[in-house]
Structure 1
Amino acid sequence: MTSNALTDLSLAAFDRVVNATPGFRSRPGQREMAQRIAGSLSSVTLGEHPNPGKAIIVIQAGTGVGKSAAYLSTTVAMALARKTRVVISTATVALQEQLMTKDLPALAAVLDTPFVYALAKGRGRYVCKLKLERLAGAGEAGDDLFEADEDAPPPRAAFARQMQGEDPEERRMKLYDSLAVALAGGKWDGDRDNLAEQPEPRDWSAVAAERHTCTARHCPRFRECSYYNARTKLAEANVIVANHDLVLASLGRKALPELDNCLVVFDEGHHLPAVALDQFASAMDLSNLRWLDKLPKTLHEVSEKINLTLAQDVTMLAQQLKAALHDVGRILMDLLKVNISGYDGVYRFKNGVLPDELRDPMTLIQGHARGLSKALEALGAEVKLLAKEDPSQAVSCSVMYARLGQLAPKLGSVVDTSSLLLEHGPQPLAKWLKSDTSSGLVFLTAHACPIVPGDLLRQCLWSQVRGAVITSASLTSCGSFDYFLQEAGLVNNPCVSTLEVDSPFNYRTQGELIVVETAADPKNAEAYTQEMVGELLADLSQVAHGALVLFTSRVQMKAAVDALGPALQEVVLVQGQMARGRLLGAHQARVEAGLPSVIFGLQSFGEGLDLPGQLCETVFIAKLPFSPPSDPVEEARSEWLKSVGRDPFTELVVPATGIKLLQWTGRAIRTEDDHATVICYDRRLLRLPFGRRMLQGLPPYAVSRRVGGVALAA
C-alpha cells in the first residue's frame, strides 16, 4: 500500500471514530493532529532495511483536544493495514485504565477490521506459582527457599503492626495460603492488581515472578504460569498498552514487540526523561549484608547437587566482599556525621569524584562482586542446562535456580553501583549517600546516576524506534519545544517534527489568572509562607463549590493545615489523610451535595487530576513549583553545567518549572463549559523576567494582579 493510501486509510478511521462519538463537537486541532500522525508515519520503513525511513512526531495537544482518539484511530488503522502492531506507552495507571476500558473498546466498535488489545505489565506484578506452592505448604517442605527480604527496612505500616504485637510470619502464612487457594480454585489469575486487598511489598516479593529466579520453559509450572500466560495474550494482541518504565526496561529483552518493527505512541511523553534517569540509576545497600553469608552456602549446596566443582573460592570472595563493604560503610558513615546533622540525610560527592580513601575499597568491592557474579551466572547456566537435558529433574532444577536467582539482584546492584561510582569521564555522574532511620534502624545506601537523560534515550531508545508519536498537554516550556527536545535526546534529529495544537477552550472568557503580590519575598520562606497562608485562608472562605490548593512542600502544606479554623477544617481534605481514590470520592460527594470542598495537595496532585465543572472552580498555587534544591541528580547536573560555563537556572530550572506550572494551571479548565480561576501567590510570575517567560507558556488566561486585596491590571 502506498504512503498516500495509508494516510487516507488512517484519516478515514479517525473520521469514523469522531463521527461515532456521542455529542461530538468539531475540533480542528484534533484533526490537524490526526493528519500529522497519518502523514508522517505512512512513510516509515519497518523491519530489516539498509536505509529505513524514520519519523518521530512530537505533539503538544492542549487540554480538551482529544489526543487519544487522534493517535489511536490513526496508528491502529495504519498498523492493521501494514500487518504490524502498536505499542502505547503511558506514565500513569489512570491513563492506562482509560485506554483499556474506554478508548480502545470505542475504537474496536467502529473499525471494520477487528483487533485485539492487551495491557502489558512487568513480571513482578504476577505470582510465581512454584514459589507460592512451597510457601503455602503445597510443595516440598523444608526448602527454606523463598522468603521475604529480611534485610530491607520494613514499611512504616508493617513496622507499626509489629510494634503492636502482630506476628509477621503468621500474617504471611495466612496470606500465602489464601492466595494459593484462590489461584488453585480459579478465583484469581495470579495478577497482583486483581487482588481485592494489596499485600505488603515485602510479603509479595517472596512470591513474585522474577527474571532471575525463573527457568521459563524448563519450569514444571510453565504451562500454568500467570506471567507467561499473560505474555501469550500479548503475543496475540495488535495493540499493547504499557508504561514508560516497562518499555525502557524491556529494550533488547523481547518482552514487547521490537521497536523497529512496530509503531509506538508515548502519551504523557514529558515523563520520558525522568523515567530514563530512573532506569539507568543504581543503588547498593551498605547496612544489611547477611545475604553475603547465605550466598557461598547456597552456591556450594547447588553445585554439590548437580555434581559440579566451583572454579572459584566463593567463600573467600564473599568474605572479602563483605569486609570491603563494611570498610566503605564505616568511611561513609563518618562522612555523613561530618556533613549532616542527625542520622537522616543525603551527602553528594561534588563533581562526581569519590574521596581518595574510598577508591581502593570500592575497587575491591567491584572486583569481588564481579567474581561472585560470574560464579553465580555460570552455576545458573549449568542448572538450566541440566533441566533442559533431563526433564525428570525439572522441579529440583527450578528450585535450585530460584535459590540462586534470589541473590542475583543484590549482587547485581553491588556490581552496577560500584562500577558507576568508580566511573569518571568528561561528563560526571551524580553520586551520593543516603541514610534513612524511618524504620527505627539506620539504613545506609550508596547511589549513582547519569545526569543527562537525552544521551540515554538517544543511545538506547531512539536508535531502535522507526515510527513514534510523543504527545502530552505539556511538552513546551515558556512557549518552546527546545527544552523537551534537549531532555529527550531529540534535538537536531532530522527525523523529528513538532506540532503544537491549541486547546479548543476559550481561556480568556472561561478563565482568569490572578497573581497575588505579597509583601514578603518568596525566597524568604518563613515570612512568605506566613503571609501566603493568611491570603489563602481568606480566599478559601469564599469557595462555594470545589477547589484545589497545590503546595510545593509538606512543610508549606502543614503550615496551612495548622492555620485552618474550625469552619475550614470541615471543608478541607488533605492529601495523605486517606487513599487518593477515597479522597477524590469524598470531595465529589461533598460538592454534589451542595457543600464546599477544598483539596490540599502536593506535586502529584498537580498532574493527571481531572475535576471538571464545580469540582474545581479555583486552583490556588501556593508558590511557583521549583523542584527542591536538594535533589542530588539536579545538583550534580547544575554543578557540571556551571563548570562548562552554562547557566543551569536559565537552561534547566526555569523551563522545568514552566512545564510544572503549565500542568498545575491545567487542573482548572477541563471542558468547554468550565469557568475557573487560577490564583498564584508568587509575585515573581509577573515581576521577574523568568516568571514572565513561564507566563508565555501558559494558556491565554485573562491576567490580573492583586495588591492588598485590590485587583489591578497586570
Structure 2
Amino acid sequence: MTDATQPPSPFTVDDLSAQALQAFEQVVSTTAGFRPRLGQHEMAELVAQTLSSGDLGEHPNPLKSIAVIQAGTGVGKSAAYASTAITLALLRKTRVIISTATVALQEQLMQKDLPALSRAMPLPFSFALAKGRGRFVCKIKLERLAGNGSAIEELFDDAPAMVKPKAFAGQEDPLERRFKLYDTLAGLLAANAWDGDRDNLALPPDPSDWATVAAERHSCTVRHCPRFRDCSYYNARTKLAEANVIVANHDLVLASLGMKTLPELDNCLVVFDEGHHLPAVALDQFSSSMDLSNLRWLDKLPKTMQEVATRMHLHLGDDVNTVTTQLKGVLTQVARMAMDLVWAQTGREASGEGIDGTLRFANGVLPEELKEPVGQILAQATGLSKALETLGTNVKALAKEDPSLAVLASQMYARLGGLAPKLGSLVSTSTLLLEHGEQPLAKWLQASSGGGYLTMTAHACPIVPGDLLRQFLWSKVRAAVVTSASLTSCGSFDYFLHEAGLYGAPHVQAREVASPFNYAAQGQLTVVHTKAEPKDANAYTSEMVALLLKDIAAVKRGALVLFTSKAQMRAATDALPPQLMDRVLVQGTQSRAKLLAAHTARVEAGNPSVLFGLQSFGEGLDLPGMLCETVFIAKLPFAPPTEPVDEARAEWLRSTGVDPFNALVIPATGIKLLQWTGRAIRTEDDQAQVICYDKRLTQTAYGRRMLAGLPPYQLGKRETTYLR
C-alpha cells in the first residue's frame, strides 16, 4: 500500500504543532467526562512537536523525529496521541498508523476512542482496522473444497506420522467437521451473509480447519484471480487504502516491512502504543524453525508439481522427484541425530517413549556432525523452492495471457502456494543454523510429545532485538511516537532504549509523563519480611501461602493475587480452607472474560472476591475502584534466562564481561513490577494497597533499584512471626 510522494507542506513545523495541539484542546474541552490533566497536555504537546518535525516522502537528507513517552496510568494517552497525530496526518496529507500489542487495545481504539474523536475533532477523518491476509478466506480454495471429497488429501498435510487424524470417543470426526465447515462457509458467502473475515463468524473455526482455506500470499494470483473483484482480503485492503487512520498491531507492522500492505513507513506518521512489547515481537518475527518429523508434505510435493505442470501444459525442468527424495532422506537423518542428541541431553535412551526436551547449542555453534546434513537441506530446499517459484510464475503468466484459464490457474497456483512456506522454513532455518558471526544466534532442538506423536523441530533466532529493530524498522521510520505505561525500569529509560534499538540516536527523545494520581495519598506499598529466604523456594512458598491466606480472609471487596509460577499458584489454591474457596477465582479454570465477569458480579453484590493470576493478569487488567482494592504480589517477578534465546543472550553477555543479571534480569523484572503494582490504582478516586511478600524489594540493592522506579506509594513494612 503505497502513497504518493508528499508535496512540500505549506505549514512550518511550529504551525503544524500549534494546530495539532489546538485540536487536542478542542477534544478535551468539548468531550463529556474529560478532565483537564497536566500530563496529558504535556504528552500531546510532545507528540505534536515530534510528528511535525520528521520529513516524509522523498528527501535528500530527511530529518527523523522519534519520541519515547512513558505515560503513567490515568494520563489518557490515546486521546493525547490520537487527536494530535490524526490532525497532523490530515494537515500533512498523509496517514497515521496506530500499532498496538493486544486485541483489547485495538478494540478500544476502534469501538470507543476513535469514534469519540471523530465526533469531537474539527476535521473529519476515517479509520480502519488492518488485519493479516490469513484472517480472510480464499474463495478459490473454498470453492474447490466445499462439497468436494476428491480434495481430501489436501486437508491433512499437517497430520503427523503420515496418518489422518482420528476422532476420539464422543468427538466429531475431523474430516466430517472440515467439510461441514467449508459447506457452511460457502453457503454464507453465497447468501451474502458473511464478508469472508474469520473474526466475523459467530463461532471461530478450529485453526487447523481454517488454515486450509485461509488467504495467503504464496497461493494468491492477485489480479489474475477470477475472484479478485470480490476477494474479501483485497476488499478490506481497498477500505484500508481509503482510511486516514489505520489501526494495526506490532506483528503485522513488522511482518509487512517491504511488502506494501501498509503505508510506507517513511511516508506516514506512526504511533506504537504498548511499545514495551516491540522488542519481543521483533525476536519472534525474525526467528525461524523447521519441522524434522512431519514430512508427509514432501511425498506430495513432486506429485503436486507434476500434476500442475501437466494440467497447465508446462514443462517441469528439474528432477523434482530425485531432489525431494534426497531432501526427505537428509531431514530424516537429521531428525534421528537430533533425537539422539536430545535424549543424551535428558539422560534417556532412545526407547521410543514420549519426551519433551530442549537442547540449545552453546555459543550458537552447530555440532560438527550436523553441519554437512544441514548444508544439504539448505541446498536441496533452495533448489526445490526455485523450481516451485518458476512453475508458479509460469502458471500466473498463463492466467494473464489466457483469461479462460484464470479459474484453473488460480486453483493450481493455490495448490503450489501451500508448499512454498514449508520449503521457505527449511531454507531460512538451515541458513540461520549455518550462520556464525561475531554475535552468535540462539540455536536449539525441541522435542515435544503430544497426542501419541513425537515432534522434533530445529530453531534459530537472533538474540538482540535492538539490532533487528534498528536495521529493519527504525531505518525506515521518519516520524514516530513509542508510548506505554511501562517503558522505564529502575527509574531509567536505558534498558528499553537498548532493547528497542533507539539508544544513543540523536533524533530520539525520551520523556516520562507523570500520572495524575496522588500515589502517596491514594495507595500504600507494604513489604512483608518473611522469615524464610525467597531463594529457598519450598520454605518461602509455604510461609508466603500461610500469610496470603490470612490476608485474603480479611478482604472486604475485590483483590488480585499475582503469582510468578503455576506451581506457586497451585500451592496457594490447594491450601485454601473451605471458608475461602467461594471467594477465590483462579486463572485457567474458565475464560478470562468469564472470570472477570464473575469477579465483578460478586463485588457489585457486596461480596468479597479474590482473583488468582499469573503474568498475563499483571498487565492490561483494568479493575478500578472496589474491584481491586488490594494487589498481593507473591514474589518478585524474576524471569531467569531459561528460554533458549534468553540463555543464549546471557551466555554471550558473560563472554563479553557483562553480568546478565544486572543487564537483563533486573531491568526486565523492574518493568514487570511496575506493571504489577499498576493494577492497584486506576482512577483519581481509587484507594488501594499493594502487599509484596518478597523482602528483597527493600533489603537488597537491586530491590531498592526497582523500588525507585515505582510510583511514590506510601511505603510500609510488616514483620512476620510465622514459624514453619
Task: Answer whether TM exceeds 0.5 for this pair.
Answer: yes
How far apart, CA to CA, are the structure 2 residues paired with 1:163 and 1:702? 58
Deviation string 1:188-230 (CA, Å, 9 cap, x unpaired) is 2111111121111101111111111111111111111111110
Question: Is this contact kept in 2: 1:428–1:450, CA < 8 A?
Answer: yes
Task: From the superposition, tell whether residues 171 and 260 of structure 1 become closer, same or farther in structure 2 (CA, over 3 Å).
Answer: same
How far apart, CA to CA, are the structure 2 residues paired with 1:653 and 1:542? 34
Question: Is this contact kept in 1: 2:50–2:481, CA < 8 A?
Answer: no
1:445 aligns with 2:453: no
TM-score (norm 1): 0.97
1:9 aligns with 2:19: yes
- Equivalent position of 2:389 in the other structure: 377
1:576 aligned counterpart, secondary structure: coil
Deviation string 1:496-515 (CA, Å, 9 cap, x unpaired) is 01110011001111111111
1:210 alignment partner AA: E
Alpha-carbon shift at residue 388 of structure 1 (Å): 1.0
Counterpart of 1:70 (choices 59, 64, 80) is: 80
Question: Is this contact kept in 2: 1:627–1:657, CA < 8 A?
Answer: yes
How far apart, CA to CA, are the structure 1 residues paired with 2:468 and 2:154? 35
How far apart, CA to CA, are the structure 2 residues paired with 1:528 and 1:693? 23
2:159 alignment partner AA: D
Pairs within 5 Å for 1:526-675: 526-675=538-687
- Per mean C-alpha deviation after superposition, the further-off stretch among 187-196 and 306-315 is 306-315
- Equivalent position of 2:479 in the other structure: 467
1:431 alignment partner AA: K
- Equivalent position of 1:123 in the other structure: 133
Question: Is this contact kept in 2: 1:218–1:387, CA < 8 A?
Answer: yes
- Equivalent position of 1:241 in the other structure: 247
Alpha-carbon shift at residue 305 of structure 1 (Å): 2.1
- Equivalent position of 2:266 in the other structure: 260
1:285 aligns with 2:297: no
- Equivalent position of 2:5 in the other structure: none
1:53 aligns with 2:63: yes
1:162 aligned counterpart, secondary structure: coil
Alpha-carbon shift at residue 151 of structure 1 (Å): 2.8
1:491 aligns with 2:485: no
Alpha-carbon shift at residue 634 of structure 1 (Å): 0.5
**What runs of 5+ residues in structure 2 fail to find an aligned partner?**
1-10, 348-353
Task: From the superposition, tell whether residues 414 and 169 of structure 1 become closer, same or farther in structure 2 (CA, over 3 Å).
Answer: same
Q: How many residues align structurally? A: 705
- Equivalent position of 1:427 in the other structure: 439
Task: From the superposition, tell whether residues 141 and 565 of structure 1 become closer, same or farther in structure 2 (CA, over 3 Å).
Answer: closer
Counterpart of 2:524 (choices 506, 509, 512) is: 512
Task: From the superposition, tell whether residues 562 and 298 of structure 1 become closer, same or farther in structure 2 (CA, over 3 Å).
Answer: same
- Equivalent position of 1:113 in the other structure: 123
Counterpart of 2:93 (choices 57, 72, 83) is: 83
- Equivalent position of 1:705 in the other structure: 717
1:325 aligns with 2:331: yes
- Equivalent position of 1:343 in the other structure: 355
1:180 aligns with 2:186: yes
1:49 aligned counterpart, secondary structure: coil
Question: Is this contact kept in 1: 2:166–2:173, CA < 8 A?
Answer: no
2:561 aligned counterpart, secondary structure: strand
1:26 alignment partner AA: P
Alpha-carbon shift at residue 308 of structure 1 (Å): 2.4
2:633 alignment partner AA: I
- Equivalent position of 2:370 in the other structure: 358
Deviation string 1:397-433 (CA, Å, 9 cap, x unpaired) is 0111011011111111111111111111110000111
How far apart, CA to CA, are the structure 2 residues paired with 1:174 and 1:682? 54
Alpha-carbon shift at residue 709 of structure 1 (Å): 6.1
Task: From the superposition, tell whether residues 569 and 160 of structure 1 become closer, same or farther in structure 2 (CA, over 3 Å).
Answer: farther
How far apart, CA to CA, are the structure 2 residues paired with 1:295 and 1:313? 12
2:660 alignment partner AA: P
1:22 aligned counterpart, secondary structure: coil
How far apart, CA to CA, are the structure 2 residues paired with 1:153 and 1:541? 52
How far apart, CA to CA, are the structure 2 residues paired with 1:414 and 1:264? 34
Counterpart of 1:147 (choices 155, 159, 172) is: 155
How far apart, CA to CA, are the structure 1 residues paired with 2:526 and 2:450? 40
Task: From the superposition, tell whether residues 307 and 277 of structure 1 become closer, same or farther in structure 2 (CA, over 3 Å).
Answer: same
Question: Is this contact kept in 1: 2:461–2:645, CA < 8 A?
Answer: yes
Task: From the superposition, tell whether residues 709 and 267 of structure 1 become closer, same or farther in structure 2 (CA, over 3 Å).
Answer: farther
Deviation string 1:317-365 (CA, Å, 9 cap, x unpaired) is 1111111111111111111111126611211111111111111111111
- Equivalent position of 1:30 in the other structure: 40
- Per mean C-alpha deviation after superposition, the further-off stretch among 384-393 and 173-182 is 173-182
1:281 alignment partner AA: S
1:684 aligns with 2:684: no
Task: From the superposition, tell whether residues 615 and 686 of structure 1 become closer, same or farther in structure 2 (CA, over 3 Å).
Answer: same
How far apart, CA to CA, are the structure 2 residues paired with 1:135 and 1:705? 66
How far apart, CA to CA, are the structure 1 residues paired with 2:166 and 2:26? 56
2:150 aligned counterpart, secondary structure: coil
How far apart, CA to CA, are the structure 2 residues paired with 1:351 and 1:122? 35
How far apart, CA to CA, are the structure 2 residues paired with 1:505 and 1:636? 41
1:233 alignment partner AA: K
1:620 aligned counterpart, secondary structure: strand
2:266 aligned counterpart, secondary structure: coil
2:19 alignment partner AA: L
Alpha-carbon shift at residue 145 of structure 1 (Å): 6.9
- Per mean C-alpha deviation after superposition, the further-off stretch among 521-530 and 481-490 is 521-530
1:702 alignment partner AA: Q
- Equivalent position of 1:100 in the other structure: 110
Task: From the superposition, tell whether residues 149 and 588 of structure 1 become closer, same or farther in structure 2 (CA, over 3 Å).
Answer: farther
TM-score (norm 2): 0.95
Question: Is this contact kept in 1: 2:50–2:480, CA < 8 A?
Answer: no
1:126 alignment partner AA: F
- Equivalent position of 2:6 in the other structure: none
1:142 aligned counterpart, secondary structure: helix
Question: Is this contact kept in 1: 2:23–2:122, CA < 8 A?
Answer: no
1:74 alignment partner AA: T
How far apart, CA to CA, are the structure 2 residues paired with 1:142 and 1:167? 17
How far apart, CA to CA, are the structure 2 residues paired with 1:582 and 1:143? 39
Deviation string 1:441-474 (CA, Å, 9 cap, x unpaired) is 1111111100000000000000000000000000
Task: From the superposition, tell whether residues 590 and 55 of structure 1 become closer, same or farther in structure 2 (CA, over 3 Å).
Answer: same
**What runs of 5+ residues in structure 1 fail to find an aligned partner?**
none
How far apart, CA to CA, are the structure 2 residues paired with 1:473 and 1:303? 56
Alpha-carbon shift at residue 141 of structure 1 (Å): 6.5
2:554 alignment partner AA: Q
1:231 aligns with 2:237: yes
2:321 aligned counterpart, secondary structure: helix
1:619 aligned counterpart, secondary structure: strand
Question: Is this contact kept in 2: 1:149–1:202, CA < 8 A?
Answer: no
Alpha-carbon shift at residue 440 of structure 1 (Å): 2.5
Q: How many percent identity over aligned positions?
A: 67
How far apart, CA to CA, are the structure 1 residues paired with 2:130 and 2:409? 28
- Equivalent position of 2:320 in the other structure: 314
1:53 aligned counterpart, secondary structure: coil
How far apart, CA to CA, are the structure 2 residues paired with 1:376 and 1:159? 28
1:586 aligned counterpart, secondary structure: helix
Q: RMSD across aligned C-alpha pairs, in angstroms?
A: 1.6
1:448 aligned counterpart, secondary structure: strand
1:625 alignment partner AA: P
Question: Is this contact kept in 1: 2:100–2:106, CA < 8 A?
Answer: yes
Task: From the superposition, tell whether residues 40 and 629 of structure 1 become closer, same or farther in structure 2 (CA, over 3 Å).
Answer: closer
